[in-house]
Structure 1
Amino acid sequence: MSTGTDERRYWDEAAAHFDDEPDHGLRDGQVRAAWAARLRSWLPRPPADVLDLGCGTGSLALLAAQEGHRVTAVDSSRRMAEAARAKLSGTSARVLLGDAAEPPVADRRFDAVLVRHLLWAVPDPAAALRRWAELLRPGGRLVLVEGRWGTEDPAGIDARTLAALAAPLGGSVTIEQLAHDPALWGREVSDERYAAVIHPAPPTRHAEIVDVHLLLERDGEVLLARRSGTGYADGLLHAPSGHLEDGEDVRSALLRETREEIGLDLAPEDVEAVLVMQHRAPGGRARIGWFFRAHLAADGPQPVNREPHKCSELGWYPLEALPDDLVAYCRAGLDAYRAGHRFLLHLHESGDGIAHLPGGPGRAVPLAPPAVPLSGA
């Protein structure tokens, strides 16, 4: 059941007579058959991997095992776990001693997590639901048997509250009222008892914007563009850059953006990838930036501002004395490039500014030893 010294002591003492309740011990054939039928409707078709949390003496775990499921049962009470092991002997079920809110199952995943009369007793029900959902395989389900017991001093959790707690998991929640069926309880009951079958939404695959940046060099200088009219970081300097389009590779995107922004028609062999950075703007989502280096031939075509509606000017700036009025993201990339870093995290915190702030908090975290830095860096 739930954790804590007092709770464990209580359930240790309760283990000896726990099965005396008809719906706990399932000793009556009619009660046992009623629960077996309900479990059959709530759990996946056997054989499935079922995790029974707060298993008590293992009565429901035994029904699931007899149905052909591969059962792992967990309880924080040593005596409850011992009783469950005795009851489940002869089956393939495993019984573990541990906290139901943080089950000791390592990285195992299950087709169903079964919980009876427990959610209301854990310190943080919402966190427990999230943790239990993480233990499911794609398409798995949570099966919770809960209620609001008693009339004079009720305890438990009502169905509406449980549904609200489960809502952030997405997917679907089906509530099945159970109080009307005396076969489940061995008697007539008048309080609220129900089962909730929760199918959490499948996890969203992580996706990030990918952008590309050109570090165009000549005689120790780098080309920077001053942003204008974009609504983001206007007035600040940034390297020529853009976003990867669907179907492009990062080098092709860099060559396209170079043509579109500064009119240079570079060949693939003219550019070299020098830095990959994961960046997060203040209050924004993370993105991946690829920085490419190219050298401008003195006798070749020169860059021109092809997007004056986005850029007010182009200028050359010494790499060893970069200006401060740079976008922080770009400045972090240039500093990392000069230091010889190839892989970098640059994740803004809430309250950070978009612009580079000399002496401000350092957000750049190298992920590998540097290569040989630029001479003079």
Structure 2
Amino acid sequence: MNTEDYWDVAADHFDDEPDHGLRDPRVRAAWAARLLAWLPDAPSDVLDLGCGTGTVALLAAGQGHRVTAVDRAPRMLARAREKLAGSGARVLAGDAVEPPVGDGEFDAVLVRHVLWALPDPAKALRRWAGLLRRGGRLVLVEGRWGEADPVGISADTLAELAAPLGGQVRIEQLAHDPALWGREVHDERYAAVVRPAPPSRHAEIVDVHLILRRGGDILLGRRAGTGYGDGLLNAPSGHVEAGEDVRAAMIREAYEEIGVTLDPAEVRVALVMQHRAPGGDTRVGWFFEARHAPGTGGEPENREPHKCSQLGWFPLDPLPDDMIAYCRAGIDAYRAGQCFLLHLHEAGDPIAYDPGGPDRAVPLSWSRT
């Protein structure tokens, strides 16, 4: 018998257990009091996964929450729909690990006696955390049932599984309160309230690239001794330092690398690109254009020979092929008159430009309004 069939068969008698059906007013009141402590203030959006016959979902709805209840067993769902009729709750058919809801939609995800039975509880916790809004919480009611040969998941194990989510994990032992179970119990029963750490803000390296033009040529340098793209041509470039704006960074890098003093008024933005390396790291590149005229700003010279083995003028059209793909994509886009670009490598792509390889450049449309 598969899991779904098992719970379908169990549906007819599921509510006979005092803590399932909550038919005893004292048991129902005990669970209602716990929910008030575990869930955010009402009204909040609460997702009950593996809702069974919907008893706990009904309690939450009665406390003013907007409840979505999910279960995969048809007969459990039928009873939940009947029980929750008129409560305003949504009842959906679906798997607890991959419920038919969107990410970031809920203030709380409530899961009772489900995690222990899943083949990959750590995966489930990660998925459930993704369903939460910033500041949301998981409310997990679990235990190790039985004294001679217990089944389930211990509180210590659950805390270890939840630790990678960051944030806070609070364990509340429940076995000592017979009102919750309708009788005395002597095994391990508890609730874990997990508040995952909010996702870190997206942060990327910002670098700058100089398209220095002299007539129909541009200045390129051949990298050497850097460990990245050595032997390939690249435009003068570098990282923006803390507290520095992108134009100031370009002017600084041009002087440090090639000894050219750029007039800020003559440095123009050519292109902005988000780039993803083959290893997955991302960065934003600002490409600037400047014109070089003899006697203005100094003649370019290789001021970093430990990083550059050759500095020279190369035709803009056609560009040489032996270039770093990132730089080549930016200059190709500049030649095409594009202003914003995604250049997203896939795993296994070469760092070097490959004329016969896949084109990873995606121009972005923009509005002048």
TM score, norm. by length of structure 2? 0.86
Q: In the alignment, is the contact (CA less than 8 A) between 1:347 and 1:363 conserved in 2?
A: no
Aligned equivalent of 1:255, options 251, 255, 258: 251
Q: Which amino acid is the alignment partner of residue 317 of structure 1?
A: F
1:216 lines up with 2:190 in the alignment = no
1:266 lines up with 2:262 in the alignment = yes
Q: In the alignment, is the contact (CA less than 8 A) between 1:345 and 1:363 conserved in 2?
A: no
1:164 lines up with 2:160 in the alignment = yes
1:7 lines up with 2:3 in the alignment = yes
Q: Which amino acid is the alignment partner of residue 315 of structure 2?
A: P
Aligned equivalent of 2:54, options 40, 51, 58: 58
| Structure 1 partner of 2:108 | 112
My pick for the range that moved more, 201-210 or 261-270, is 261-270
My pick for the range that moved more, 159-168 or 307-316, is 307-316
1:125 lines up with 2:121 in the alignment = yes
Q: In the alignment, is the contact (CA less than 8 A) between 1:177 and 1:195 conserved in 2?
A: yes
TM-superposed deviation, 1:289: 1.1
| Structure 2 partner of 1:23 | 19
Q: Which amino acid is the alignment partner of residue 200 of structure 1?
A: P
Distance in 1 between residues matched to 2:70 and 2:358, nearest whole Å: 45
TM-superposed deviation, 1:113: 0.8
Q: Which amino acid is the alignment partner of residue 197 of structure 2?
A: A
1:285 lines up with 2:281 in the alignment = yes
My pick for the range that moved more, 138-147 or 259-268, is 259-268
My pick for the range that moved more, 28-37 or 139-148, is 28-37
| Structure 1 partner of 2:144 | 148
1:316 lines up with 2:313 in the alignment = yes
1:46 lines up with 2:12 in the alignment = no
- The SS at the match of 1:16 is coil
Aligned equivalent of 2:323, options 322, 326, 331: 326
TM-superposed deviation, 1:45: 2.5
Distance in 2 between residues matched to 1:75 and 1:284, nearest whole Å: 37
My pick for the range that moved more, 336-345 or 110-119, is 336-345
Q: In the alignment, is the contact (CA less than 8 A) between 1:344 and 1:364 conserved in 2?
A: no
TM-superposed deviation, 1:67: 2.5
Q: In the alignment, is the contact (CA less than 8 A) between 1:173 and 1:197 conserved in 2?
A: yes
Q: In the alignment, is the contact (CA less than 8 A) between 1:213 and 1:291 conserved in 2?
A: yes
TM-superposed deviation, 1:190: 3.0
TM-superposed deviation, 1:169: 0.9
Distance in 1 between residues matched to 2:66 and 2:345, nearest whole Å: 46
1:93 lines up with 2:89 in the alignment = yes
TM-superposed deviation, 1:321: 5.1
| Structure 1 partner of 2:190 | 194
TM-superposed deviation, 1:184: 1.6
Cα shift readout 1:205-255 (whole Å, capped 9, x = no counterpart): 111111110111223222112345555445543211122234444334323
- The SS at the match of 1:275 is strand
Distance in 2 between residues matched to 1:310 and 1:106, nearest whole Å: 48
Distance in 2 between residues matched to 1:110 and 1:364, nearest whole Å: 36
Cα shift readout 1:45-74 (whole Å, capped 9, x = no counterpart): 333222111111222122222323222222
Alpha carbons of structure 1 residues 7 and 231: separation in structure 2 relative to 1, 3 Å = closer
TM-superposed deviation, 1:261: 2.7
Cα shift readout 1:136-173 (whole Å, capped 9, x = no counterpart): 11111100011222356543222233222212211121
TM-superposed deviation, 1:282: 4.4
Alpha carbons of structure 1 residues 363 and 182: separation in structure 2 relative to 1, 3 Å = farther
**Percent pairwise identity:** 70
| Structure 2 partner of 1:375 | none
- The SS at the match of 2:287 is strand
Distance in 2 between residues matched to 1:282 and 1:103, nearest whole Å: 32
Q: Which amino acid is the alignment partner of residue 159 of structure 1?
A: A
Q: In the alignment, is the contact (CA less than 8 A) between 1:341 and 1:366 conserved in 2?
A: no
> Which segments of 5 or more consecutive residues in structure 2 lack a partner in the other structure?
none
Distance in 2 between residues matched to 1:93 and 1:146, nearest whole Å: 24
My pick for the range that moved more, 186-195 or 114-123, is 186-195
| Structure 2 partner of 1:373 | none
Aligned residue pairs total 365
Q: Which amino acid is the alignment partner of residue 5 of structure 2?
A: R
| Structure 2 partner of 1:206 | 202
